[in-house]
Structure 1
Amino acid sequence: MLRDSTDEELVQAHREGDPDAFGVLFERYKDRMWAVALRTTRDPELAADAVQEGFLAAFRRLESFRGDAKFSTWLHRVVVNSALDRLRRLKPTQEWPEYDIADTRDAHAQTDVRLDVRQALAQLPEGQRLCLVLVDMEGLSVTEAATHLGIAEGTVKSRCARGRTALAGMLADR
């Protein structure tokens, strides 16, 4: 049964022409990719478009996936890049959306503390926010986050440290 297969087995099955293999990967990662895109864009519409674009790009480029990193890390990078591309396409005069990113698919958004953290996180510079989301919220290692973002590990560490310090200051009064 495909659902019991590893990511690597599903990638190989897709390459061999199994029409259902990528669907299993999609089901396995859609919610996680939605959360990453939503935290990156802070806009449900942009996030939905980024996830759709990201999965389409992954489907089309799965042949080029070398397996140097885990499939989930590669997919994260594809979706985050898609989300960042969407943000870059905003006109310079357009404001970044300030939506409440609480979503029924994100169970953590049920508490006031999580909402406060999310509001504070949205105020951080993009680089710090992305590093904190990947490392602290998505559980990627510093190495995986660095690979994912195409930056040095030291940069990830320093952005996380600065972001955590800034968050602590913003949340101290709450």
Structure 2
Amino acid sequence: MSEVSETQVGEVDENALVERARQNDYRAYEQLYRLHVGRVFALCFRLCNDRDMAEDLAQESFVLAWRKLSNFRGDAAFGSWLYRIATNTAISYLRKQKPFRHALDIDDVDESEYRETTDEQVGLERAIALLPDGARTVFVLYSLEGYTHDEIAKMLDIAQGSSKAQLHRARKLLMGHLS
């Protein structure tokens, strides 16, 4: 069976792709890559505010996921597992950087990458990009990726209260940017 099995709604069966990829089927992994690269890149870009670095971090995340594919237990969706790897990869990179190393030029936010987005969505992405590193990281992890303050605190090696304070700061700054 060389074809990817499909669900009733015509979507690629991710579990079948994962199983094929575990058997060193590079084409199956390439399909997994294509399914998830956009969101992985967006996550990395939101966290590091540097397009080139986000591309590197996304690529590194996929390479790491390929190497660790045998460790994927299937308790959660492959995408969730992959996004966790990407999050950890980006956070590891950010820890190695000096605070506030990346100042974003607002012109670096390429609106063409946000296909079929509204002006409000583009404005929100720009406002998120302008947040200070700590506030942006917590905001992205909590509000966009769905992590809890406890999980964020452990990932970033900060107190849970610091995570909450950074989220509050991010929301306050976003409201200022968007008003």
TM over 0.5: yes
| Structure 1 unaligned blocks of 5 or more | none
Secondary structure class of the residue paired with 2:112: coil
2:89 counterpart residue number: 82
**Residues 123 and 63 (structure 1 numbering): CA distance in 2 closer, same or farther, change over 3 Å?**
same
1:106 counterpart residue number: 114
| Structure 2 unaligned blocks of 5 or more | 7-11
Q: CA deviation at 1:162?
A: 4.7
Identity fraction in percent: 28
Q: TM-score, normalised by structure 1?
A: 0.73
1:34 counterpart residue number: 41
Quick check: 40-49 or 94-103, which moved more?
94-103
2:20 counterpart residue number: 13
CA contact (8 A) 1:34 1:47 kept: yes
Q: Deviations over 1:117-146 (max 9, x none)?
A: 234323434444234334544xx4445x94
Choose the corresponding residue for 1:24, options 18, 31, 54.
31
Matches within 5 A, 1:1-174: 1-2=3-4, 4=6, 5-90=12-97, 92=98, 95-99=101-105, 100-107=108-115, 111=119, 113-137=120-144, 140-142=145-147, 146=151, 150=155, 158=164, 160-172=167-179
Q: May I ask how many residue pairs the two structures share in their alignment?
A: 166
Secondary structure class of the residue paired with 1:169: helix
- What's the RMSD between the two structures over aligned residues? 3.4
Q: CA deviation at 1:86?
A: 2.9
Q: CA deviation at 1:42?
A: 0.6
Q: CA deviation at 1:169?
A: 3.1
Q: TM-score, normalised by structure 2?
A: 0.72
- What is the rounded CA distance, in whole Å, between the counterparts of 1:3 and 1:47 in structure 2? 32
